[in-house]
Structures are given as structure tokens and as C-alpha cells.
């Protein structure tokens, strides 16, 4: 009897054990299906339960739990679980790569570098592994905030993943998720809608749905608005189908791989409403095209795509308008990487901002800028900490002036992004120089200098000091300027300045004197051989400038007079000065000045400028004052 009872007991126990084992197997299969389908939040709970109920959890559960946390952007929990597997030989090699990414997101750059190097040792040949390693070194070296930008979170909340934004009139167009669950199928849809919020320069108003034309059960966002505000390009899921059988893929507009791709759509303003969105001709059900950005003239469309033939992930492309359609997309090859380039934003077709996790950066996606020069795009420049962080930073666009916006998850955990406003900080440059008389080369005091910006606005007026010097310390390197120098007796002088290129420490202004009747130009440095009328080489340089002035003023007639000091006999000085005057005149004629413009006159010591006459003791400097050549304008016909 006992034997029978025991048999029954063990039979029940065996059935119960098999039932538990079968139930767990079903649960594991369900978890893995959710995991493979990208439903990481749902899969997460399963793996947590398996691990909690097991004395010796499977390595695969811990790995997949860490991967769920990584994909849900809960990097601290991902780190905690990856750390349990570092020395485990059963984990996929890719764990070290993904763990390296997570450690970078947590600013653990030295540890991340170790993970990348271990991955490279186990599986060499990854196309971007050296970039990841160099990124760790870059982040360690460039660990201070870039002083060129100041960024702060703003009051506008997304309450989910950011999917692009653009300016529209006086406000912002951006997408907002409204998750909804179908009561019959129990399928949850993100349900994105385009919202509009006004900006008063400091804060945004509460956002409101923009228009019924811009709603999708799945993903919608990344608006790009034409300059006349009458056309909007945006990204949207190709269909509203989230789940379909393989037999229905083509019918439902889903790719052969079962992917509901993202496409670029266009809508036009008709009166007060927007037309039903139309898919543009570059789209495909087999790959995605998204994040449109329209050039200012509306003739080029920049976007990203994972179409075949690229470098990998999402690449940057540009297409040119041809009537109502767009040309075959051209890869912006020099900017693309094996990873993802996203959110292009172009300024004047010559400056391109974009986000990437494939260039050297701090972690996650960073924002870069490239310049179109000599027919190609320059090497991307990382905008530095402040704009960028160890997390994902993306979707930059300028608002006006020096202000703009971007999105980041630097302050959040999970699938939540925030808007940030940034402003470019002005690092003013100092400019200084000397104003001189172009003819005499003397420094000019009391010259009024007006400084105008590139829009023609008067920025400031300054005056040269007694040494002809001036200084201005507020040149904006992103603007161009014009300096206008003014002084009675001189022609106005204009100087164009580009602070980003020009040498601001030597802004020489040379003012040309006005040639008019009875004006006298005096030179103390037209020198001759001692007791001779032969010009010294340095004197010829001065006379060259005088020749240029007289050639420019062919109607002017001048007297060129030479003067000596009082030393030597009166007759000798008079004769010598006449010869010197004639020597100077002859030189000017040889340089192209008309003979009839010139009269040579020697005055010897008859027109001394100080007390140093015969019999008076004077210093050499005092005598030098009297040794001069003067040009007096006799007439201007």
C-alpha cells in the first residue's frame, strides 16, 4: 500500500516539476522574443525575475538584462550588470564593446578604454574601434567646458524621446509622444504629434497640437520649414502598422526584413490648414530616410539614411530639387562613419552641423560642425563640452543671432530628453594701431576714428592720442568692421577689418593730405650729402611719396624750397639751398611729375624757425629744425 502511495506521490511531483520547467521555458522564450523584438522594457521584468529566483543565474540572463538597461539608457544599472560578466568566458565578445560605450556615458573614460582594447584583442577589425579608443583619450584631455558656448535646460518639456525641432514663425515646432494602448490587441503605440510653442526670447509657452496633418500612431518629427513658412518636410513612419506577418510585409508597406521604415513627407499650407502629407520620391520601404533639413533657398534637401551603399548605420545625404521631385541622393562621404550621423542642419549651404557617435567625442552622440571649402566638407570639429556631454547631444539648430537650441539626455535616465538653449559667447578681440600722415610719415594726433559694424551701425568713436595711437577692445570675431578716420586737412580713410583673419595688433591707417592753396608740407628728413646737393637714398623714398601725391593732383602747382641752418656763410648757404631745391625738383620730374607743376627755390638761412641765427650757440637738435625742405601749394587750378 505504501509503495503505491509513494509511486503516486513521485508521479505527482514529477508532473509538477515538468510543469514548472515547461512554464519557465515558455517564460524564457517569451522574454527572448521581446528582447529580440526591441521591447526592452517588457523583457527587462522577465530577466529580473529569472535572476531573483535563481541561486545561480544564467550568464545569458545577466547579459540580456544589462543590454536592456543599456538600450533603455539606464546606464548605471547597465554598468552594474556588465561588471558581473567582465571575466566570464561565456559572454558574447560584443559585451566588451557595449560595456565600453556605457562606461563612456558614465564618464569612466579610463575603464572604457580598457573594455575597447579588450574587445579589439578578442575581435580585431571593427571599423571604428580606434575612434572609440581615441575618444576616451580625447575626453580625458578635453575635460573642461568649452568657453565658446553657454547652454542651459529650458522650460519646454518633451516627456519622452526628442525627435527633432525647427523654428516656425515666432515659435518652435517639435514632436511629443502620447503613448496609447490598443484595447483589443494590447499593442502600445508611441503616438507622436507635432506641437507648437511660442518663444518670447526667454521662455516658451505651453505647447499645443499644431495640425491634424502631423500625427502618427508611430513616429513623427524632425520638421524642416521652408523660408516662406508654407512648406514643411518631416519624418514619419512609412505606415501605422507595428506588427504584421511576413506574408503581409509588402502589402502593409513594410520592408522585406519586417521593418516599418521612416520616410520623409511633405505638407503644404492651403489657406489656414495643411495638406495631407505626401511621401517624397527619394523614400523606400526597404530603408529609412529621415531628419530633413532644407537649404535657405529651398533647392537642396539634407537628410540621413541607412540606404545600401553607405559607410554603415545612418549616413548624411543631400538631394537637389528638380521641379517637384528630388535628385538621386548624394552621400556626403567625407563626413560619414561606420556608425550613425544624424540631424543635419545647414547654414548657407556652407556650414553643416550634425550629430554623430562615430567621430571622436565625449560619449554617446556629439554635435559637430563642418565647413564647405574648395569643393568638399572640412574635417568635423567637435563643439566641445557645454554643447556636448558624455551622453547624447543632438538636433542643434540656430534660432537667431547667437542663440540656438539642441536636445540632450545628459540630466536624465531612461528614454527622456530635454531641450537646451545655447548662446555663443563673444570673445572680444583688441585692436590697436597708429595713424600716420602718408606723405610725411608723421604720427597724427586728434584723428577721429569711427567704427562701424557689418550692418553699417556706428559702434564707437575714438580719437588718437598725442602719439597718433588708438585702441579698441571690442571687435567681435564673428563680424566684420569698417574703420573711418577723419581729420581736417586730410582725406577720409577707410579700413575694412575681419577680426577672425586680420592682424589686429598693427592696424595702420595712412591718411593722405588734402592738396589746396597755401598748404605747406614740411620735411626735416630729406637729407643731402654734406655740403653737397646730392640726395641721400633715404631722401628719395620721401620724394617718391611726394611724387605720387603730385601725380594724383595734376592741377596743383607747388614751390619746393630748401632751407639751411645758420652755420656757414650766408651766400654759401643760399647757393647750396638753391641747388638742393633744384636737385629735389629734378628727381620729382624723373618720377613723372610735370615740370610746370614745380618751382625750385633756395632760401638758405633767411627763414630760420628758431633763435639759432649767426653768433647764437645752439644744440645740434636745434640747428636740425632749420635744415628742411618745404613744399608750399601755390595754386590748384
3-state secondary structure 375-429: CEECCCEECCECCECCCCEEEEEEEECCEEEEEECCCCCCCCCEEEEEEECCCCE
In a domain, 250, yes or no: no
Residues in the chain predicted with pLDDT less than 50, given as ranges, are 1-6, 8-20, 22
CB atoms within 10 A of CB 456: 7
Q: Are 399 and 170 in contact (CB under 8 A)?
A: no
The two beta strands, 418-424 and 393-400, are unpaired
In the chain, the number of structural domains is 4
101/96 Cα distance (integer angstroms): 9
- Asked, for residue 486, whether it belongs to a domain, the answer is yes
| CA 550/CA 513 separation, integer angstroms | 11
> Domain check: are 451 and 317 in the same one?
no
Tell which of 444, 479, 511 closes a domain: 511
Q: Is the pTM of this model over 0.95?
A: no
**DSSP 8-state assignment for residue 324:** T
Looking at the fold, whether 71 and 220 belong to one and the same domain comes out as no
Q: Which domain holds residue 204?
A: 149-243+255-424
Say if residue 181 is exposed, middle or buried (CB neighbours under 10 Å; 0-12, 13-18, 19+): exposed
Helical spans, DSSP H, in 184-338: none
Could you tell me which of 537, 510, 509, 507 has the C-alpha nearest to residue 525?
A: 537
321 three-class SS:
strand
Q: What is the DSSP string of 46-75?
A: HHHHHHHT-SS--HHHHHHHHHHHHHTT-H
Partner residues linked to 175 by β-bridges: 194
Q: What is the CATH number of the domain that holds 442?
A: 2.60.40.1120
Whether residue 8 is contained in a domain is answered as: no
- What is the Cα–Cα distance from 557 to 600, expressed in whole angstroms? 11
Tell me, what's the pLDDT at 13?
41
Report the pLDDT value the prediction gives residue 522, as an integer from 0 to 100: 81
User: Under 8 Å CB-to-CB from 98, ≥6 apart: which residues?
Assistant: 66, 67, 70, 82
Enumerate helices (H) and strands (E) in the chain, giving the number of each.
Answer: 10, 37
Domain contains 11? no
pLDDT at 21: 53
Residue 13 belongs to a domain: no
CA-closest candidate to residue 473, choices 427, 425, 431: 431
The arrangement of strands across the sheet holding 509-511 comes to 469-475, 429-437, 509-511
- Check residue 23 and give its pLDDT: 67
The residue among 93, 122, 141 that closes a domain is: 141
| DSSP character string of 522-563 | EES---BSTTS-PBPHHHHHHHHHHHHHHHH-TTEEEEEEEE
Is residue 329 domain-shared with residue 390, that is, in the same domain? yes
Q: Cα 235 vs. chain centroid, distance in angstroms?
A: 25
| 525 and 623 both lie in a single domain | yes
Task: Return the SS3 of 219.
Answer: coil
Amino acid at each position: 500500500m505504501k509503495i503505491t502511495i509513494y509511486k503516486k506521490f513521485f508521479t505527482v511531483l514529477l508532473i509538477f516539476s515538468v510543469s514548472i520547467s515547461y512554464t519557465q521555458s515558455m517564460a524564457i522564450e517569451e522574454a527572448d522574443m521581446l528582447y529580440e523584438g526591441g521591447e526592452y522594457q517588457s523583457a527587462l521584468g522577465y530577466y529580473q525575475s529569472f535572476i531573483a529566483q535563481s541561486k545561480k543565474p544564467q550568464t545569458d540572463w545577466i547579459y540580456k538584462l544589462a543590454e536592456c538597461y543599456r538600450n533603455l539608457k539606464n546606464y548605471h544599472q547597465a554598468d552594474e550588470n556588465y561588471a558581473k560578466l567582465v571575466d566570464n568566458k561565456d559572454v558574447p565578445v560584443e559585451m566588451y564593446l557595449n560595456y565600453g560605450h556605457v562606461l563612456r556615458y558614465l564618464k569612466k573614460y579610463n575603464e572604457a578604454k580598457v573594455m575597447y582594447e579588450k574587445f579589439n584583442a578578442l575581435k580585431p577589425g571593427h571599423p571604428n574601434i580606434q575612434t572609440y579608443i581615441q575618444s576616451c583619450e580625447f575626453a580625458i584631455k578635453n575635460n573642461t567646458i568649452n568657453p565658446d558656448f553657454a547652454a542651459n535646460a529650458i522650460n519646454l518639456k518633451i516627456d519622452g524621446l526628442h525627435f527633432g525641432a525647427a523654428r516656425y514663425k515666432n515659435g518652435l515646432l517639435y514632436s511629443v509622444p502620447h503613448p496609447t494602448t490598443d484595447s483589443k490587441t494590447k499593442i502600445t503605440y508611441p503616438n507622436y504629434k507635432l506641437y507648437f510653442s511660442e518663444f518670447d526670447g526667454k521662455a516658451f509657452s505651453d505647447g499645443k497640437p499644431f495640425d491634424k496633418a502631423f500625427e502618427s500612431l508611430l513616429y513623427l518629427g524632425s520638421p524642416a520649414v521652408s523660408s516662406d513658412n508654407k512648406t514643411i518636410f518631416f519624418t514619419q513612419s512609412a505606415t501605422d502598422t507595428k506588427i504584421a506577418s511576413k506574408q503581409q510585409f509588402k502589402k502593409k508597406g513594410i520592408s522585406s526584413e519586417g521593418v516599418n521604415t521612416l520616410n520623409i513627407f511633405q505638407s503644404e499650407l492651403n489657406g489656414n490648414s495643411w495638406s495631407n502629407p505626401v511621401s517624397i520620391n527619394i523614400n523606400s520601404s526597404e530603408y529609412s530616410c529621415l531628419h530633413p533639413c532644407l537649404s535657405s533657398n529651398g533647392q537642396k534637401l539634407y537628410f540621413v539614411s541607412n540606404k545600401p551603399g553607405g559607410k554603415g548605420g545612418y549616413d548624411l545625404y543631400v538631394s537637389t530639387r528638380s521641379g517637384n521631385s528630388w535628385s538621386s541622393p548624394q552621400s556626403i562621404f567625407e563626413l560619414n562613419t561606420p556608425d550613425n550621423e544624424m540631424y543635419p542642419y545647414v547654414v548657407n549651404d556652407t556650414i553643416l552641423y550634425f550629430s554623430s557617435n562615430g567621430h571622436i567625442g565625449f560619449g554617446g552622440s556629439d554635435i559637430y560642425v563642418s565647413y564647405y571649402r574648395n569643393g568638399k566638407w572640412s574635417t568635423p570639429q567637435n563643439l566641445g563640452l557645454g554643447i556636448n556631454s558624455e551622453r547624447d547631444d543632438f538636433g542643434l539648430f540656430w534660432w537667431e543671432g547667437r542663440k540656438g537650441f539642441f536636445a540632450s539626455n545628459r540630466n536624465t535616465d531612461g528614454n527622456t530628453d530635454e531641450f537646451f538653449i545655447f548662446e555663443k559667447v563673444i570673445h572680444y578681440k583688441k585692436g590697436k594701431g597708429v595713424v600716420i600722415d602718408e606723405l610725411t610719415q608723421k604720427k597724427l594726433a586728434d584723428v577721429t576714428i569711427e567704427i562701424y559694424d557689418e550692418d553699417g551701425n556706428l559702434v564707437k568713436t575714438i580719437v588718437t592720442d598725442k602719439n597718433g595711437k588708438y585702441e579698441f577692445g571690442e571687435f567681435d570675431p564673428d563680424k566684420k568692421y569698417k574703420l573711418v578716420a577723419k581729420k581736417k586737412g586730410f582725406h577720409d580713410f577707410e579700413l575694412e577689418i575681419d577680426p577672425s583673419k586680420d592682424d589686429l595688433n598693427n592696424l595702420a591707417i595712412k591718411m593722405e593730405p588734402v592738396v589746396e592753396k597755401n598748404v605747406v608740407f614740411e620735411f626735416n628728413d630729406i637729407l643731402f650729402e654734406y655740403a653737397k646737393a646730392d640726395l641721400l637714398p633715404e631722401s628719395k623714398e620721401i620724394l617718391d611719396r611726394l611724387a605720387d601725391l603730385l601725380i594724383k593732383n595734376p592741377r596743383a602747382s607747388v614751390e619746393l624750397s630748401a632751407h639751411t641752418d645758420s652755420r656757414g656763410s650766408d651766400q654759401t648757404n643760399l647757393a647750396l639751398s638753391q641747388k638742393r631745391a633744384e636737385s629735389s625738383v629734378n628727381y620729382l620730374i624723373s618720377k613723372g611729375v610735370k615740370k610746370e607743376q614745380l618751382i625750385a627755390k633756395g632760401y638758405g638761412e633767411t627763414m630760420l624757425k628758431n633763435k639759432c641765427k649767426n653768433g647764437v650757440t645752439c644744440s645740434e637738435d636745434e640747428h636740425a629744425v632749420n635744415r628742411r625742405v618745404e613744399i608750399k601749394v601755390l595754386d590748384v587750378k
